[in-house]
């Protein structure tokens, strides 16, 4: 459990907070979409539907900020970022986005996976009010993951990412006034799952970078954005860890965990059809806790996808949600800053890059990048096979326990 640091003000959104006057987006169980989600026939649009109530609220508020100016460090092209699929079986999506590399906020110096929240440094209680899109509030009937009722009903924020990766790029900030460090909580995972199920668009994805895995702000937050391209991760084959009968049937609190097959592999996959969100959140939180205890940095990507398997079942289905967690080598100290480790590469390896979405820094790299180069770069940051195999044994013990 992440430790909280009070940062002053009224926890109910008093006048000290920039979100005090932000509109509220309320949702409940009936707003979660568990069927009918598909990609459109072209495969390059947002999806097959006209968007849910959540999609309409998020995109209209986000585009209003983009059109009005004053929030973003740069504008995205009206027709979208230059994009191409790299030749090869992984079908990586490369996008030329040089301004994100040059205009984004200077990353904080990160020294430890468990670095405490520091209220004197930049955090999301300091953002201008115009950057807050709305306050997220659960209504009655939404599933919970066992937290006390007051905490379960606490508000989260959706704020614009001022250096956007793509259209609709927002930050999900759970309970911002508590001053939580960048460690996944069970409620944060549940919020992420709820957001994906609130969207009718398979293009909407949510992700998390831990400290040491290119998180640039040590205040609990997750990323959400729309990418109008299918990713191979949505239907990548996988195999279960351990036999299905593992563990005592009467005590199974965690969902099955699968091992993602094929490059870039060494990812842990959890799938939910939406009927077991508390168990899904608990499973991800337990896996994240294991990685923190092992001092392993990690990236998480949450997206619509088909059920696991090799070959996967119903590969075109996007009714359920895939959660993929990658343990990886840490990047601490000044490595994330200009001139540090990773600066000579075409892209940094974080949540979207591991999922197959590659924001590229320069036109030269954008035009010359190959699948082989991508896999070579990613391999530098994944755990070595021996260390990953040892971790899998611990994950299996966790599931059986």
pLDDT in tens, 377-397: 999 999 999 999 999 999 999
- Indicate whether 26 belongs to any domain: no
- Indicate whether 212 belongs to any domain: yes
Packing angle of the helix pair 277-293, 186-198 (nearest 10 deg): 130
Task: Name residues whose C-beta falls within 8 Å of residue 59's C-beta, 6 or more positions apart in sequence.
Answer: 51, 167, 168, 226
For the ranges 60-74, 252-266, 353-367, the lowest mean pLDDT is seen at: 252-266
Mean pLDDT, all residues of the chain: 87
Average pLDDT over residues 189-196: 98
- Indicate whether 385 belongs to any domain: yes
Report percent pLDDT > 90 for the chain.
75
Per the structure, the count of domains in the chain is: 1
| Cis amide prior to 264 (ω within 30 degrees) | yes
- Indicate whether 57 belongs to any domain: yes
The model's pLDDT over 230-278, given as tens digits with 9 standing for 90+, comes to 999 999 999 999 765 544 444 568 999 999 987 778 999 999 999 999 9
- Indicate whether 329 belongs to any domain: yes
Backbone angles phi, psi at 378, to 5 degrees: -60, -40
Q: What is the pLDDT of residue 360?
A: 96
The model's pLDDT over 212-234, given as tens digits with 9 standing for 90+, comes to 999 999 999 999 999 999 999 99
Name the residue range of residue 299's domain.
34-138+150-400
Q: How far apart are the first and last CA of the chain?
A: 19
Q: What is the pLDDT of residue 155?
A: 86
Residue 334 pLDDT grade (very low, low, confident, very high; cuts 50, 70, 90): low
- Indicate whether 22 belongs to any domain: no
Which domain CATH number covers 214?
3.30.428.70
Is 12 buried (19+), middle (13-18) or exposed (0-12) by CB count in 10 A?
exposed
Report percent pLDDT > 70 for the chain.
85
The model's pLDDT over 311-333, given as tens digits with 9 standing for 90+, comes to 998 999 999 999 999 999 988 87
- Indicate whether 118 belongs to any domain: yes
- Indicate whether 58 belongs to any domain: yes
> For residue 151, is pLDDT > 70?
no
Among 221, 229, 258, 285, the active-site one is 221
CA–centroid distance for 334 within its chain: 23
229 is catalytic: no
Backbone angles phi, psi at 129, to 5 degrees: -60, -30
């Amino acid at each position: 459990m992440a430790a909280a640091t009070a940062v002053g003000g009224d926890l109910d959104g008093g006048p000290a907070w920039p979100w005090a006057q932000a509109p509220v987006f309320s949702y409940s169980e009936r707003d979660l979409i568990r069927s009918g989600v598909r990609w459109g026939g072209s495969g390059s649009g947002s999806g097959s539907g006209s968007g849910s109530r959540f999609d309409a609220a998020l995109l209209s508020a986000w585009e209003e900020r983009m059109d009005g100016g004053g929030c973003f460090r740069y504008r995205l092209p009206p027709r979208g970022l230059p994009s191409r699929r790299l030749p090869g079986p992984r079908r990586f999506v490369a996008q030329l986005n040089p301004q994100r590399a040059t205009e984004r906020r200077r990353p904080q110096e990160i020294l430890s996976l468990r670095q405490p929240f520091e209220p004197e440094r930049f955090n999301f209680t300091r953002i201008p009010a115009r950057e807050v899109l709305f306050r997220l509030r659960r209504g009655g009937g939404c599933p919970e993951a066992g937290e006390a009722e007051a905490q379960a009903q606490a508000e989260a924020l959706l704020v614009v990412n001022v250096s956007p990766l793509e259209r609709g790029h927002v930050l999900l900030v759970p309970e911002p006034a508590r001053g939580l460090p960048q460690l996944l909580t069970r409620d944060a995972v549940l919020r992420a799952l709820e957001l994906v199920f609130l969207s009718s668009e398979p293009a909407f994805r949510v992700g998390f970078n831990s400290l040491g895995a290119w998180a640039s702000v040590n205040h609990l937050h997750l990323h959400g954005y729309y990418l109008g391209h299918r990713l191979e991760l949505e239907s990548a084959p996988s195999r279960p860890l351990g036999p299905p009968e593992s563990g005592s049937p009467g005590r199974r609190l965690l969902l099955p965990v699968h091992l993602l097959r094929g490059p870039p592999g060494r990812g842990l996959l959890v799938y939910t059809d939406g009927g077991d969100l508390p168990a899904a959140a608990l499973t991800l939180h337990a896996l994240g806790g294991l990685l923190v205890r092992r001092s392993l940095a990690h990236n998480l990507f949450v997206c619509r996808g088909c059920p696991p398997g090799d070959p996967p079942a119903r590969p075109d289905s996007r009714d359920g949600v895939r959660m993929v967690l990658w343990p990886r080598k840490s990047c601490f100290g000044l490595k994330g800053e200009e001139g540090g480790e990773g600066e000579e590469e075409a892209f940094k390896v974080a949540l979207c890059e591991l999922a197959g979405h590659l924001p590229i820094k320069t036109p030269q790299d954008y035009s010359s990048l190959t699948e082989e180069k991508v896999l070579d770069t990613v391999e530098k940051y994944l755990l070595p096979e021996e260390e990953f195999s040892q971790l899998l044994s611990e994950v299996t013990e966790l599931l059986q326990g």
